[in-house]
Amino acid sequence: MPQLLVDQRDVKFILYEQLQVQKLCEHPRFSEYSQDMFDMVIEQARKLAENEFYPANRIGDREGVKFEDGEVKVPECYHKPYRLYCEGGWLSISDPIEVGGQGFPFIIGNAAIEFFSAANWSLMMYPGLTHGAARLLEKYGTPEQQELYMYKLFSGEWGGTMCLTEPNAGTDVGALTTKAIRRPDGNFNIVGQKIFISSGAHNLTENIVHMVLARIEGAPKGTKGISIFIVPRLRYAEDGSLVDNDVVCTNVEEKLGIHGSATCGLSFGDNDNCIGYLLGEENRGMRIMFDMMNEARHFVGMQGLALGSAAYLHALNYAKERLQGVHFTQLKNPEAPRVPIIEHPDVRRMLMFMKSTIEGIRALLYYAAYCMDRAAIAESEEERDKFQGYVDILIPVCKAYGSDMG
């Protein structure tokens, strides 16, 4: 089939000619990898994306998410590709082997994700946020929290979300009203509502672990008094079994173009029996959540890139097949044959604009991912600060420009 998702030649140009990521293999952290292995990963991602994710895209969009009797069901066709994605280790492809990951450079995982995202972004919303939640636990969780939740998130056995937005607290996060009430055992009862929560409820996984922003009673007003809590849909009972944690889906939103993605309203603690577990220090919730938000920003840029790439390649393929009009040099010839519309100058202009824009976004996003790798393997604090500084500057640009233009 023609390339309809991602321009593989441009991907390899950016990886191996522009950024020369094969040189990362000279560093001890990536010494067991090679350019051939990178190519193999990208090829396997392409195959899974084209053979499993892409066919489920149209079906899933038409079927949509079902919300019945308080339960959320994703399109049936999503279950197989999600299972294959998790079994293949794609969710944690760039995470340390110690947490169940495959240890590849972040930029290689980034390239693989572009294929999956271009094939079916609605489906990719589920593992994307799960990965962000797992990373928070890796960085800030206690050993016990990591043992209980992190590994199941990295494997995709459980899902994850981030819960910030409330009916009266959107961009003004400091206005949130979700409360965290201290319990005698040191944990907290969570009471409040969140809205527009991507992957907030679904039947792809047995359990969903929510990263919830809330204010501990007596904490300062505004963002300085916000803490973050691990709030699983099903929590562990004393005997190790999973029991309901008083987290209820109240509604499912309809979003243009991603009908297969469950964007939910969630209510915590309607029966005063929702237990949350503090992640990190009290009143440090916004700082901790920004780690997950920055990863999400990069993925939003990737969403724009992936969808824009697929749109361009579909348009290019159509322009080569659609016969309409005659060549502009034959306008006065009544016998001139009809030509593909790609022969028309204005169509070529539009295609070239799409191509140049998409390739620019791809270069931007891949470079940001490359800087993440360079910061991770930096041999001096100065070098680490340099590349981390690039990341900090580029991430908002990746999100804004990638989503605007894609």
Q: What pLDDT does 256 receive?
A: 85
| 362 belongs to a structural domain | yes
| 3 belongs to a structural domain | no
- pLDDT tens for the chain, 406 residues: list them: 578 999 999 999 999 999 999 999 999 999 999 999 999 999 999 999 999 999 999 999 999 999 998 899 999 999 999 999 999 999 999 999 999 999 999 999 999 999 999 999 999 999 999 999 999 999 999 999 999 999 999 999 999 999 999 999 988 999 999 999 999 999 999 999 999 999 999 999 999 999 999 999 999 999 999 999 999 999 999 999 999 999 999 999 988 889 999 999 999 999 999 999 999 999 999 999 988 888 899 999 999 999 999 999 999 999 999 999 999 899 889 999 999 999 999 999 999 999 999 999 999 999 999 999 999 999 999 999 999 999 999 999 999 999 999 8
- E-assigned strands of 144-302? 159-163, 179-182, 188-198, 208-216, 226-232, 234-236, 242-244, 247-252, 263-268, 275-278
DSSP 247-267: EEEEEE---TT-TTS-EEEEE
Q: Considering 237, 261, 284, which residue would you say is the last residue of a domain?
A: 284
Domain check: are 151 and 168 in the same one? no
| 230 belongs to a structural domain | yes
Domain check: are 196 and 137 in the same one? no
The CATH number of the domain holding residue 252 is 2.40.110.20
Q: What pLDDT does 32 receive?
A: 96
Question: How far apart, in Å, are the Cα atoms of 221 and each of 175, 176, 191, 230, 319?
Answer: 8, 9, 17, 21, 57
Domain check: are 215 and 262 in the same one? yes
Distance, in Å, from the CA atom of 214 to the CA atom of 276, rounded to the nearest integer, reads 10
Distance, in Å, from the CA atom of 241 to the CA atom of 184, rounded to the nearest integer, reads 22
Q: What pLDDT does 292 receive?
A: 87
Q: What is the value of pTM for the model shown?
A: 0.94
Question: Tokens 């929510």, residue?
Answer: 210
| Residue 278: count of CB within 10 angstroms of its CB | 22
Domain check: are 367 and 379 in the same one? yes
Report the SS3 class of residue 117. helix
Q: Considering 155, 182, 200, which residue would you say is the last residue of a domain?
A: 155
Question: How far apart, in Å, are the Cα atoms of 344 and each of 4, 327, 328, 329, 352?
Answer: 21, 7, 7, 10, 12
Phi/psi at 345 (5° precision):
-55, -40
| 273 belongs to a structural domain | yes
Q: Considering 225, 258, 284, which residue would you say is the last residue of a domain?
A: 284
| 1 belongs to a structural domain | no
Domain check: are 86 and 49 in the same one? yes
Range of the domain at 272: 159-284
Q: What pLDDT does 134 receive?
A: 97
DSSP secondary structure letter of residue 4: -
| 60 belongs to a structural domain | yes
The CATH number of the domain holding residue 297 is 1.20.140.10
Q: What pLDDT does 1 receive?
A: 57
Helix (H) or strand (E) holding 68: strand 66-68
Helix (H) or strand (E) holding 67: strand 66-68
Q: How many domains does the chain have?
A: 3
Tokens of 325: 């009009």
Domain check: are 108 and 207 in the same one? no
| Pick from 273, 205, 289: nearest CA to 235 | 273
Domain check: are 271 and 383 in the same one? no
Domain check: are 250 and 314 in the same one? no
| 343 belongs to a structural domain | yes
